[in-house]
Amino acid sequence: MRVFYTLHMSIKKHIPALLLLLAGAKVCTAQTPPTEKTAFQTSRAWMPEIDTRADIAIVYGVNGNPSDHDKKQTFENRVKSWQDEGYLTHFMTGIAWGSYEDYFLGNWDGKPHFDEGQVQQNGDTIWHGHNVPYIVPTDNYLEYFKDKVIKRVIDAGVTSIYLEEPEFWARSGYSESFKDEWKKFYGTSWKPQHESPENTWLANKLKYHLYYNALDKVSAFAKAYGKSKNLDIKVYVPTHSLINYSSWAIVSPEASLASLPGIDGYIAQVWTGTSREPVFYNGIKKERTFENAYLEYGSMVSMTKPTGRKMFFLTDPIEDRRKTWEDYKLNYQATFIGKLMYPSVDNYEVMPWPERIYTSPYSVAGSDEKILIPRDYSTQMQVMINTLNDMPRSDNSINGSDGIDVLLSNSLMFQRFPNHDGYDDPQLSNFYGLTLPLIKKGIPVGTVHMENLNTQGGLADTKVLVMTYANLKPTSPKDHEYLAKWVKDGGTLVFVGRDDDPFQEVQDWWNRDFDFKAPSGHLFKTLGVDPKENQEEYTAGKGKVYILRQNPKELVMQANGDGHYLDLLKQAYTKTGEKWVEKNNFHLQRGPYEIAAVLDESTSAQPLVIKGPVIDLFDPEIPLLESKKINPGEQALLYNLDGMKGKKPQVLATAARVTDEKITHDTYTFTSRSPVNTDNVMRIYLNKQPKSVGHTRENGEVIKGLPPQWDAKSHTLLVKFENQGAPVTTTITW
C-alpha cells in the first residue's frame, strides 16, 4: 500500500512546524513527498475512535458544526490535535449556512440579520439548524464571513479552504433581502416567481448569480489575505452534482465556478442520500443507486475536465435516512463502485463525519434501540477506504460503446420549481430519459457541460452528443456556434424534444435578440438544418443531425418507451464507424483492481464472472477466490493477484493504513493504524511461508491476534487483530 506521509512540511510552513516541535507535538518524519490524495471532514478534535489515517483531516467550522453540542475545543486546538497525530490539516465551512450565530444575533455589528435568511412564499425561513438559516449572501454577510471566518483560518496557518454547498433553494426568494438584491441586479422591482415562468427564470438566475458572486469575492479575498502573510491559499468548493441539485430543486453556480480564478478544485458530494433518489425507467419509479451515482460522478467529471482542476470524490458509509445497516452497506457499495468507474480521478474524501460513523449509535429501521456500526461493516469499510489510498489513475476505459454524451447546463436548475401551465418534469425524467436507457444497455454514457463548449477539451472525446431543451435552455447564441462548428467538422448531434414547455417563451436572447419562439430554432438555423415533420436525419457540413420530436421524459415514464430512441442512437453511432455493443455490465481495470457492476432491468439476467485469483474487497474476511460471480443488481471490487506490483513481500488488502515497510533477507516489518474498537484484517503476499508473526504497540505491548492463515497456492497470509487507534508494528519472519 502507498506509504503514508505523516506531516506536510513545505518551506513556507517551516515556522508553524517548528512551533509545534517546541510545543512538544509528536511530529513524525517522512520518507516520501507529501500526498493529498485522501481526506475526511470532521468537526471534532482527534480521538483514537476516529483515527481513519487518510492524508488530510479537514477540520470543520471555526465554531464547529451547527449540530455539535460540545463546542469546548477551539478551532485552533482542533487543528493542532490532528497535526499532532501526523495529519495534513485543511478547513471546511458552509458558505450558505453554518455556525454564524454571532452574525445573525447581532454580536458582530450590533444588528440582527435573521432577515437575510432564505424565505418561502408562505413567509417561513428555510433553516439548517437552530439559529442557522440558509443565507441570502448579501455584501454585509460576505464582509462578516471574510472577517470572522477566513482571516481566523489563515491566521491559524491553514492554507487549504473548502467553501461548502453554495445553495439557494428554488422554493425560496421571498425575503426582503432577496427583493433588495433583485432591485440591484435587475434595476426593477421584485416579481414573485410563482406568478409566471418568466419570474421563475429571473429569480433562479439571480440565485445562481448571488452565490457565484459570493464565491468569487470570498476566494479572491482568501488568496489576497494569504499572500499578505506569504501563504499560498487554495480554495475548493464541496458541492452536490448538478443532477442532484436539479432533482432536489436547489440553485448553485456549479459549472460556472470553473471560470473563477480563485477556485482550485472541488469535492463531488455524492453519496447514498443523493444517489438513491427514485427515478423513472420503463414506467417504474424506484431507487437505482448505482446508475444514479455513476451519472452524478460523471457530471462532476465533465464539469471540471477541461479545467484541469483537482477533484475529490466523496462517499459516505451511512446517511441521514433511517435504514438498516445492511441497506447502508449495499447502497454504499453501489456509490463506491460508481465513483471508481472514472479512472481519471484518484483523489477521494473517504467519509464525512467519522464521529457519527464510529461513535454514534444509530436509530436504524427495524429496531427500537440505537445500534453502533457493526464490526464486520466497519472492517469492510476500512478495507475499502484503504484501497482508495492505493487506487491509481488509469487510461483504461469502461468496456463497451463509449463516446456518447448528453449535454447539460446550469439552467437545468432553473425550471424545477414551481410548476407553470401544467409543465412538470417528475424526478428529473427529461434528463434520465436521455441517459438511463443507455446505461441499462451497458453503454457508458457521459455528460458534457454547455458552459465548457468553448474550451479545447469540451467535446474532444464525444462521438455522438445528445441534447434537449425540454429541461434546460442555452445561455448564449455562442453555445450554438460552438455546437454547429463541432457538427460541421464531423460531429453527430441528436436533438430530442417537442419544445412545448412554458420556459421556451421566457424573455431571453433567442426571442429578444432574435425572432425564434424556441431556442432550438436558432440552433437549427446555425446548423443550416430545416426540420421537416417526417424527417429525422440531416446533414450539416461533414456531420449529422438527428431530430426526435419526443420529450425525453416520455422515454422512461412509459413502459418500453425508449425503443425508437435507442434505434435512432444506434443508427447515429454506427454511422460514425463505431460498434454498438449492448450488455448488462460495466467493467473497468485500474492497476490490480477489478471494478464491476452488473445491471438489472438490462439485456439479460446472466451474472458476470471474473476469473481469479482475486481478493474480494467487499467481504470483511477478504477471501481469496478462484473466480467471482456478480449477479444483476450487484457490484464488486476485487484485487487481482496477477496485477500485483512485483513479487516482493507486500500488504495487498488491509483494514488499517500501512507505513514504514522494511524488508530484509528473512523479515518483513511494517506499521499499521486504524480506529480503536475496530477489527483489522490483512492479506499479505510473502515469498515463503512464515515461521512467526507478531504484533506490538510502540511501548512494546504485545497485541494478540487470531492465528494467521497461510495459503500456499497464492503465497498469501491472512492476519487479524484488533486496531488500537495507535501504531501497531507487525513483524514476520521466515
Stated as kind and residue range, the H or E segment containing 330 is helix 325-340
Give the CATH number of domain 650-733; options: 3.40.50.2300, 2.60.40.1180, 3.90.1150.10, 3.40.190.10. 2.60.40.1180
605-631 pLDDT, tens digit each: 999 999 999 999 999 999 999 999 999
537-596 residue pLDDT tens: 999 999 999 999 999 999 999 999 999 999 999 999 999 999 999 999 999 999 999 999
- Cα–Cα distance for residue pair 519/511, rounded to 1 Å: 8
- Residue 697's identity, in one-letter code, is R
pLDDT of residue 175: 98
**How far is it, in rounded angstroms, from Cα 340 to Cα 362?**
28
pLDDT tens digit string along 101-120?
999 999 999 999 999 999 99
Q: Dihedral through CA 296, CA 302, CA 308, CA 314, nearest 10? A: 0
Q: Under 8 Å CB-to-CB from 696, ≥6 apart: which residues?
A: 702, 703, 728, 729, 731
pLDDT digits (tens, 9 = 90+) for 195-218: 999 999 999 999 999 999 999 999
pLDDT tens track for 668-720: 999 999 999 999 999 999 999 999 999 999 999 999 999 999 999 999 999 99
The CATH class of 404-574 is alpha beta
Q: What are phi and psi of 90, to 5 degrees?
A: -115, 180
Q: What CATH fold (topology level) applies to the domain 33-390? A: TIM Barrel (3.20.20)
What's the pLDDT at 258? 83
Model pTM score? 0.94
Nearest Cα neighbor of 65 from 80, 89, 43, 82 is 43
Question: 3-state DSSP call for residue 87?
Answer: coil
Helices (H) then strands (E): counts for the chain: 19, 35
Q: How many CA atoms lie within 13 A of 111 on its CB side?
A: 7
Parse the chain into domains and list their residue ranges.
33-390, 404-574, 585-640, 650-733
Are the beta carbons of 40 and 348 closer than 8 angstroms? no
Torsion angle (degrees, nearest 10) of CA 569, 570, 573, 576: -130
Residue 52 contacts residue 70 (beta carbons within 8 Å): no
Q: Quick one: pLDDT at residue 16?
A: 39
Strands 667-673 and 657-663: antiparallel
CA 358: distance to chain centroid? 22
Segment 229-261, tens digit of pLDDT: 999 999 999 999 999 999 999 999 998 988 899
Cis peptide before 531 (omega within 30 of 0): no
SS (H, E, C) 155-189: HCCCCEEEEECCCEECCECCCHHHHHHHHHHHCCC
Residue 222: which residues within 8 A CB-CB, separation 6 or more? 146, 150, 154, 161, 233, 235, 262
Closest CA to 566 of 716, 680, 439: 439
Q: What is the pLDDT of residue 259?
A: 84
| Cα radius of gyration rounded to whole Å, the chain | 27
Contact 470, 497 (CB under 8 A): yes
Summarised one tens digit per residue, pLDDT across range 686-695 is 999 999 999 9
Three-state DSSP class for residue 481: helix
Say if residues 648 and 731 touch (Cβ distance below 8 Å). no
Contact 198, 506 (CB under 8 A): yes
Band (275; pLDDT cuts 50, 70, 90) = very high
Q: How far apart are the first and last CA of the chain?
A: 21
- Evaluate whether 467 touches 493 at the Cβ level (below 8 Å): yes
Q: Mean pLDDT, to the nearest integer, of 38-59? A: 98
C-alpha cell at 52: 481513519
For 551-632, list the strands marked E by DSSP: 585-590, 593-598, 608-616, 624-630
Bridge partners of 59, per DSSP, are 42, 91
pLDDT band at 418; cut points 50, 70, 90:
very high
Q: Could you give the percent of the chain with pLDDT greater than 70?
A: 95
pLDDT of residue 30 exceeding 80, the answer is no
Residue 35 phi/psi, 5-degree rounding, is -115, 150
Q: What integer pLDDT is reported at residue 34 of this predicted model? A: 65
Task: Name the 3-class secondary structure at 356.
Answer: helix
CA 553, CA 430: separation in Å to the nearest integer? 4
Chain center to CA of 68: 24
CA distances from 415 to 144, 423, 635 (A): 32, 10, 34
Cβ neighbours of 501 (radius 10 Å): 23
pLDDT tier at 71, thresholds 50, 70, 90 = low
403 is written with which cell numbers?
463516446
Mean pLDDT rounded to a whole number for the chain: 94
DSSP string for 278-295:
-EEETTEEE--HHHHHHH
